[in-house]
Structure 1
Amino acid sequence: MNPYKPKVRAPDPHLVSFTSGVLERFEVATVCEASGCPNRAECYARKTATFMILGTFCTRACRFCNVATGRGVPPDPAEPGRIARAVEAMGLSYVVITSVDRDDLPDYGSGHFAATVEAIRRRTPQVRIELLTPDFRGDERALRRVVDAAPDKLAHNEETVRRLSPLVRPQSDYDRTLGVLEYYAQRFDGTVKSSLMAGLGEREEELIETMRDLYGAGVRELTIGQYLQPTPHHHPVVRYYPPDVFERLREEALRIGFRAVASGALVRSSYYAEEL
């Protein structure tokens, strides 16, 4: 057994049961439940959650991700309203909205992001909203649409280092991700954030190089977490990073200039998003 493989306490069954009931009632999905995130009960207790819109089928097939690949159904125009009601019922104070990739849609799903922000703001204007978006194939009209929605924070994940990106994200592109983040940083009044996974086979110096690339693109908040293999068919875990390496990476990111950094085995892109 690897001594650095992360372990967590079992989630509070009552809190998870209540949340699952709300999600089922409003027919909405969270990444927290879909991925069995180890931090979900902790996040629910802090009144935050990450919702996944635009269906459960992704048009891409990243080798680290357990979301099913396929052609999605047409966007449900009632979904933004259902999410807004779920946010209210759960008493949330901070929400992250993300989605599968929808390369099959003319606007890549950007209009659905904007509609979801509007629905939440209309029902619970005090709730803070972070959008964790796909790259929308770098389409400027789509990127402008989510910027104009005026969330409190915009995020898009680089996920891994340049050398490994073609292997683990074959339908995405390292430089396109940097371009999306730079577009957000230049046109969005709020904070821009990104995330990296460790343990895919990268070297530490490659992670630091990627951090510098992200900072140069305008990213000011960063999360770094341990990659965990979803199934035996996914990219293997090459290394489990010990806590001191995550701390070293955090300190290096702060030296580079990032304003806020969360780095640790169980850190995920939305972990403590409201406090970052």
Structure 2
Amino acid sequence: MVTVLDTASAKPRVRHPEKAHRPDTEMPRKPDWIRVRAPNSKGYHETRSIVQDHGLITVCEEAGCPNIGECWDKKHATFMIMGEICTRACAFCNVSTGRPMPLNTNEPESVAHAVAQMGLNHVVITSVDRDDLDDGGAEHFARVIRAIRQSAPGTTIEILTPDFLRKPSALETVVEAKPDVFNHNLETVAGNYLTVRPGARYFHSIRLLQKVKELDPSMFTKSGIMVGLGEERNAVLQLMDDLRTGDVDFLTIGQYLQPTRKHHRVERFVTPEEFASYETSAYTKGFLMVSASPLTRSSYHAGDDFARLRAAREAKLAEAAQ
């Protein structure tokens, strides 16, 4: 029997007063291809204990990720730094909005100790938006990266960052810390930004990813979007072209799932066949790696995907040398 995961019950709390004024929207029944089992494995509970013992926050819980059972069972977790309160109120996001607490100066070491204890080969570090900080939290990202390098030198590091909008030199600070993968999600097509991601700027995000390559051409770059938000296929294909102008290596595409009735509605559920078609198109446009499926998320299978991404680059270089 397959049980639809209700992640809200896993960590109950009052959230989203900033969305209270939004009208309720219909939450359509999920199709069979995106139903998942509720988490209850031994590995899941072990990972949960490690996270709780270190007082850490994971985007797996905060964003209500449908893959939490599978990932935590395999000791895969995406750590969310700089608190659990975001300074923005994106219409799709399940993370609370408000005035954040001051940064926890012990957090880099706590994250690093958890990474070492879990024996991770690959770790993903993300954060809330911290528009309240002069550098958007860039130096805190860098401290976390350096702490992991010291505690777990064999672990490869993937970061999923905010856009650092109007934060001069923030990007340079993060790139100088040398993560292995720099991920920044576009989230949706350009035409949806005013309603879905109103605090961000589409072409600023494109430029951010492009600049990472200018600062360090060897660094892998990655971005992801959700579909099912009313976008047209041609807009998705244009987004792929825009990312390739910045030489982005890796694209993820997943189905948007509405967290509550106060969030942006699901306009439709994209079929597995359509995801396969998007994947084919993205590879045709030159991405080294593409992950496109209903349950794809930025950090889903990130460790395995990093190994494949590195192998794809080596194969491409070898081919060019012939």
Q: TM-score range by the shorter chain?
A: over 0.9
2:114 aligned residue: 86
Alignment of 1:58-207 (within 5 A): 58-188=86-216, 189-207=218-236
Q: Which 4+ stretches in 1 moved above 6 angstroms? A: none
- SS state at 1:274 partner: helix
- SS state at 1:48 partner: coil
User: For residues 31 and 13 of structure 1, what CA distance do their matches in structure 2 show?
Assistant: 19
Structure number with larger C-alpha Rg: 2
Contact 1:5/1:240 (8 A) holds in 2:
no
- SS state at 1:112 partner: helix
The letter of the residue matching 2:187 is E
Alignment of 1:246-261 (within 5 A): 246-261=275-290
- SS state at 2:237 partner: helix
User: For residues 124 and 246 of structure 1, what CA distance do their matches in structure 2 show?
Assistant: 36
The letter of the residue matching 1:182 is Q
User: For residues 193 and 138 of structure 1, what CA distance do their matches in structure 2 show?
Assistant: 21
The letter of the residue matching 1:227 is Y
Query: For residues 4 and 199 of structure 1, do their structure 2 counterparts lie closer, same or farther at Cα, with a shift above 3 Å needed?
Result: farther
TM-score, with structure 1 as normaliser? 0.96
Contact 2:62/2:84 (8 A) holds in 1:
no
Structure 1 residue 56 and structure 2 residue 84: aligned?
yes
The letter of the residue matching 1:195 is G
Shifted more, 99-108 versus 14-23: the winner is: 14-23
Identity of aligned residues (%): 45
For residue 262 of structure 1, report the CA deviation from its aligned partner: 0.3
Give the number of equivalent residue pairs.
276
1:228 aligned residue: 257
Unaligned runs of 5+ in 2: 1-28, 306-322
The letter of the residue matching 2:220 is T
The letter of the residue matching 1:67 is V
Give CA deviations for 1:24-70 in whole Å, capped at 9, x if unaligned. 11101111122332222322344432100000110001000011111
Contact 2:48/2:72 (8 A) holds in 1:
no
Query: For residues 5 and 64 of structure 1, do their structure 2 counterparts lie closer, same or farther at Cα, with a shift above 3 Å needed?
Result: farther
1:263 aligned residue: 292
The letter of the residue matching 1:120 is I
Query: For residues 158 and 138 of structure 1, do their structure 2 counterparts lie closer, same or farther at Cα, with a shift above 3 Å needed?
Result: farther
Structure 1 residue 214 and structure 2 residue 243: aligned?
yes
For residue 3 of structure 1, report the CA deviation from its aligned partner: 3.3
Unaligned runs of 5+ in 1: none
User: For residues 241 and 204 of structure 1, what CA distance do their matches in structure 2 show?
Assistant: 11
For residue 190 of structure 1, report the CA deviation from its aligned partner: 1.4
User: For residues 228 and 62 of structure 1, what CA distance do their matches in structure 2 show?
Assistant: 14
For residue 9 of structure 1, report the CA deviation from its aligned partner: 2.3
